[in-house]
Amino acid sequence: MSAVLASAPETAQPLLSVRSLSVRYQAGRNGFWARPRMINALQDISFDLYPGETLGLVGESGSGKTTTGRAVLRRIDTSDGRIVFNGRDITNVKGEELRKLRRNMQLVFQDPYASLNPRMRVLDIVAEPLIVHGLVRNVDEARDQVGELMRLVNLPRDAHDRFPHAFSGGQRQRIGIARALALKPEFIVADEPVSALDVSVRAQVVNLLQDLQKELGLSYLFIAHDLSVVRHISHRVAILYSGRMVEIASRDSLYERPMHPYTEALLSAVPVPDPKTQRARKRIVYKGEVPDVANPPVGCHFHTRCPIATERCSLQVPILTKKAPDHWVACWNR
Amino acid sequence: MAVTTHAAPPTAAKPRSGSFRPIALELWHDKAGMIGFTVIVLLILMAVFAPLIAPYDPAIQSVAARLKPPAWLPKGSWEHVLGTDQLGRDVLSRVIYGARASLLVGTSVVLLAGTFGVLFGLFAGFKGGRIDDLMMRLVDIQVAFPGLLMILLIISAVGPSLSTMIVVLAVTNWMIYARVVRGIVLSVRQTPYVEAAEMIGCKPGRVLFKHILPNLTSPLLTLGILEFTNIVLAEAAMSFLGLGVQPPATSWGLDVSNGKDYIFVAWWLITFPGLSISITVLSINLFANWLRVTTDPQEREKRFARLKAVERRRNGAPAGAPAKA
Amino acid sequence: MTEMDMMSEAALLEIDRLCVEFDTRGGVVHGLRGVDLSVRRGETLAIVGESGSGKSVTAQAVMGLIDVPGRIASGDIRWKGQSMLSREGLAMAQDIRGKDVALIFQDPMTSLNPLMTIGAQIGEVLRRHLGLSKIQARTRTEELLGAVGISAPRRRVDQYPHELSGGMRQRVMIAMAIACEPQLLIADEPTTALDVTIQAQVLELLAGLQETLRLSVILITHDLGVVAGLCHRVAVMYAGKIIETGLADDVFERPSHPYTQGLIRSTPRLDDQMERLIAIEGSPPSLLAPPTGCAFSPRCPLSEPKCAEQPPLVAVHAGASAACWHPATPAWREAPALAEAVS
């Protein structure tokens, strides 16, 4: 797919440009000498991310949203396609060069409990990126910088010498964000950063991420399974289904005029915390389940559950095409 | 089941280190663990200060005092509290000195085999893929190869001695460490904080030693102690067979072997060294069991709660049944 | 209080000043600190709260699943007026649990036996509780699987849990739970582990079953959206206490307690355009040393000296009560407009 995916600032250079990205996994071997079974986790994903922008990446389990995040960060190898970051092709970057690249792209994890080493003090955790990149010689030298990072994420300065278990989920997620910011990256992949948090602290973290974006000009790839959080933080939103991108559009266009039947279902499935609205809403509940990634259907992966599927859908893979300004959909019938 | 130890606010946080007293108190409350621990300490003291404690040189023979029974039996005398053997050597002194062989062999073998096995497992688990497959097949092959046969082969080629025995036991006992360590490394590698360490640009060495290795300390400690008992038994068995400690040095296994011909005449010859072996192994196991629970946070909490429940029942309020509101 | 008495007459399950404590090395964790609840026949009650609020502990207490290090410290649980915790009640409680009261867990995989076919597992329940024969049990199992929307039940009966998807397994759990035609179904975060579209399916199924079987349901969740479409009454829990309870429509429309207000307002919604979410700052208190007064006061914008005293749960308006000294006072500022947030 060679089409350039449009975005709001047409003239600006994209910070991250992904073209026809595919990832194949080894799904274990049956024996020592046997050829590994391959699973297509991701097929033909393309998108651009501009400086200061948030792209929401939404999908259910097995949709490939986490794989996309990890592939873009070069945590997993790509099988096909190109990843260009800051004008530089990083698709095959390895070793020391990849390590240096980490200064520009970071990850915020889903689980704030498991992503901090329980045996390290907060100071050691946040200072570690500075140390391993040789920016400071030891932890004590990093103290001031870490203090500044703590201020940035609204953590008390005296948090330095405590261990992660002394903090609540929301505070831990702030520590994780401070660690990701330590190297002053331009681009952050946020992999479901609030879904493991309690409802009352989710808003804190979402607001923090928005403030940081304004203050530091960060670009986010915001991965979520929940369309309601994504709406608040994203400028554009992409929907993944079973390893393929089915729709990508500017936020308002997507939420007000969803075009792919899967996006419609996803939107209508999100419960609204208001009984009257909830009762009044037309709910689209589709039969069936997400297909097995190891054995997806031929043609459009959604056609087995789709109400408007035609014969063509079960034969040919629909291509992502522009249906409206800044609105791309992969569906034969829309 | 979710134990709702909800995140405490930062002000209520306690430092992790410097918690020797509570641990000592916990050991004190666990009777079996305490007994095990005490016996182990006594054994170590006995081995270290053997020359000061032992009434005689264990190698000195006295034809006049052959096969004397223990002091409390008729014909026994307090000169030889546990009696003497067929060569007139003092059994008590031999038992005391015998602890040295057991502890020395046990410690050296655990350290030697442990170091090799841990490094092997770390490497295999961290590299993964084909290298891991290949390395673990090597482990499988050695596990499948009869250990005793290997020992016999090596000893017959090199000749029996204390140091040979240590090396031979290490060579036949390192595999379990490799397997355990590899398993833990594989699972810890999947944890988000190890991924986080790699994400921020830690080099493999730092990831391995700073983030993965600390997870191994408590399981390895328990494993090492349990393996120690195996080695103590193996040392006894080898010395019994004449492949281990050579006279005039002493060892419990050697003494059991020496005494076996006199089992009906002088039962004390095999009883006391044999008892020493059993007590050592039993108390190490008791202690290791306590240690295993203590290093597992969940089990540790449960043990604490059970203790509390017992206390509450003793104080009159029936636990479990609610007080009338 | 006469209204309360009338309610308790018809109540199927009553929880009375229940306290559950956990002995931990750090001290006693007060999981539940005096919870009053009642569920009537045919009613769906939602218990909403965050992790550590005590909502799951409540369910475990009803099911008799409180085990070391936890224990029921005081209070009572009554089934149709009879205590389930007294010495005489224990035997009856054993009988009721699993038959008249059934529980659905968050993660179906942990409560299904991986080594038994789903038919065998549901069949075992039927044969033990209802004394059906092997053949009867199988027919009934197929009926049940059909009732929870599993296609081709005849084939599924002989499958193992790992052959089913997450949504299917949760359906199997529901089938097993309704196998003995219980009167009360407790669903502990039944859809949290599921994808959004599957969650919608399972919620629809629960609502349907509730209607057709005249079930009473206790739905435990942290997600207000799940509550909105499904439940008649809501109880909001915070730090081991119920801080607000009432009819769902009332609670959502006119939340009385500042925490409930904040919870509703901080939940991102699909149907509004707020640029910035209202955030409740801080985090829930430690239950090791719970505050003597209102547990929410450290995070509450309305907090004042009086809040150092525990406010009682009192009726605020028809159909709703809250434990707050300033019930029904708007606690949170309107969301600042985008321009304001940027500046």
Is there a domain that residue A27 lies in? yes
Q: Nearest residue on chain B to A191, judged by CA atoms?
A: B192
Instruction: Provide long-range contacts, Cβ within 8 A and 24+ apart, for B140-143.
Output: B142/B172, B142/B175, B143/B175
Is there a domain that residue A67 lies in? yes
ipTM: 0.85
In 3D space, the residue among B34, B7, B39 whose CA is nearest the CA of residue B23 turns out to be B34
CA gyration radius for chain C? 21
Residues C46 and C219: beta-carbon distance below 8 Å? yes
- Quote the CA–CA distance of A286 and C204 in Å, as a whole number: 11
| Chain B closest-CA separation from residue A282 CA (Å) | 37
Query: Which of C23, C65, C67 minimises the CB distance to B304?
Result: C23
Q: Collect all residues of chain B within an 8 Å Cβ-Cβ radius of residue C76.
A: 322, 325
- C-alpha distances (whole Å) from C20 to each of A42, C57, C67, C100 are 48, 8, 11, 23
Q: Which domain, by its residues, includes A302?
A: 16-104+185-329
Is there a domain that residue A118 lies in? no
Residues of chain B whose beta carbon is less than 8 angstroms from a beta carbon of chain C are 1-9, 12, 14, 22, 300-302, 304-306, 308-309, 319-323, 325
Query: Which of B7, B22, B309 minimises the CB distance to C68?
Result: B309
Alpha helices, DSSP H, located in A217-307: 227-233, 251-256, 261-269, 275-280
Exposure of A314 by Cβ count < 10 A (0-12 exposed, 13-18 middle, 19+ buried)? middle
Is there a domain that residue A128 lies in? no
- Quote the CA–CA distance of A118 and B269 in Å, as a whole number: 53
Mean pLDDT for the stretch of residues A143-160 = 88
Is there a domain that residue A255 lies in? yes
B199 with A73: Cβ contact below 8 A:
yes
A269 with C199: Cβ contact below 8 A:
yes
Is there a domain that residue A140 lies in? no
Condensed to tens digits (0 to 9), the pLDDT of residues B132-178 reads: 989 999 999 999 988 888 888 888 898 888 889 999 999 999 999 99
| Chain C closest-CA separation from residue B34 CA (Å) | 19
The confidence score (pLDDT) of residue A113 equals 86
CA gyration radius for chain A? 21
B12 with C289: Cβ contact below 8 A:
yes
What is the percent of chain A with per-residue pLDDT over 90, rounded to a whole number? 49
CB burial readout C22-51, b (16+ within 10 A) else e: bbbebebbbbbbbbbbbbbebbbbbbbbbb
Please report which confidence band the pLDDT of residue A82 belongs to, taking 50, 70 and 90 as the band edges: very high
Give residue for tokens 């500044």.
Answer: A148
Query: Which of B6, B300, B302 minimises the CB distance to C68?
Result: B302
Tell me if chain A has a CB within 8 Å of the CB of B7.
Answer: yes
pTM attached to this predicted model: 0.81
- Across A44-58, B295-309, C181-195, the highest mean pLDDT is recorded for A44-58
| Chain B closest-CA separation from residue A166 CA (Å) | 5
B203 with A114: Cβ contact below 8 A:
no
A276: domain CATH number is 3.40.50.300
Tell me if chain C has a CB within 8 Å of the CB of A232.
Answer: yes
**Does residue A241 register a pLDDT over 80?**
yes
- Which residues pair with residue C20 across a beta bridge? C32, C72
Is there a domain that residue A158 lies in? no
CB burial readout B225-240, b (16+ within 10 A) else e: bbbbbbbbbbbbbbbb
- Quote the CA–CA distance of B8 and C52 in Å, as a whole number: 11
Residues A7 and A208: beta-carbon distance below 8 Å? no
Residues of chain C whose beta carbon is less than 8 angstroms from a beta carbon of chain B are 16-17, 22-26, 29, 31, 51-52, 54, 56-57, 60, 65, 67-76, 85, 87, 283-289
Exposure of C202 by Cβ count < 10 A (0-12 exposed, 13-18 middle, 19+ buried)? buried
Residues A113 and A163: beta-carbon distance below 8 Å? no
Mean pLDDT for the stretch of residues A306-310 = 88
C276 with A207: Cβ contact below 8 A:
yes
User: Residue C15's CB: how many other CB atoms inside 10 A?
Assistant: 21
CA-CA-CA-CA torsion sign (C170, C172, C176, C177):
positive
Residues C296 and C259: beta-carbon distance below 8 Å? yes
| Chain A closest-CA separation from residue C21 CA (Å) | 21
CB burial readout A246-256, b (16+ within 10 A) else e: bbbbbbebbbe
Among C18, C90, C222, C286, the strongest candidate for a mutation testing the B interface, having the largest count of B CBs within 10 A, is C286
Q: Collect all residues of chain B within an 8 Å Cβ-Cβ radius of residue C289.
A: 12
Those residues whose C-beta lies under 8 Å from the C-beta of residue B243, and which sit 6 or more positions away, are: B151, B152, B155, B160, B165
pLDDT in tens, chain C (343 residues): 444 444 445 789 999 999 999 888 778 889 999 999 999 988 999 999 888 888 989 999 998 888 878 889 999 999 988 888 888 888 888 888 878 899 888 877 778 888 999 999 999 888 888 888 999 999 999 999 988 888 888 888 898 888 888 888 888 988 988 888 899 999 998 888 788 878 888 888 888 888 888 889 999 998 888 888 788 899 999 999 999 999 988 888 889 999 999 888 888 777 766 667 788 888 888 888 888 889 999 888 888 899 999 999 888 887 789 999 988 888 877 544 433 333 3
Instruction: Provide long-range contacts, Cβ within 8 A and 24+ apart, for B136-140.
Output: B136/B178, B136/B179, B136/B182, B137/A32, B139/B175, B139/B178, B139/B179
Query: Which of B3, B7, B321 minimises the CB distance to C283?
Result: B7
Pull the structure tokens for residue A170.
């929301």
Residue type, A231: R
Tell me if chain A has a CB within 8 Å of the CB of C165.
Answer: yes
Among B17, B200, B212, B217, the strongest candidate for a mutation testing the A interface, having the largest count of A CBs within 10 A, is B200
Number of domains in chain A: 1
- Quote the CA–CA distance of C249 and C263 in Å, as a whole number: 15
The confidence score (pLDDT) of residue C183 equals 92
Is there a domain that residue A262 lies in? yes
User: Among A138-147, B42-51, C100-109, whose mean pLDDT is lowest?
Assistant: C100-109
Q: What is the dihedral of CA C292, C298, C299, C302, to 10 degrees?
A: 90
- Quote the CA–CA distance of A277 and A228 in Å, as a whole number: 15
Condensed to tens digits (0 to 9), the pLDDT of residues B209-267 reads: 889 888 888 888 889 988 988 888 888 888 888 888 888 788 888 888 888 888 888 88
The confidence score (pLDDT) of residue B149 equals 87
Q: Which of residues 61-80 of A touch C (CB under 8 A)?
A: 61
A203 with C268: Cβ contact below 8 A:
yes
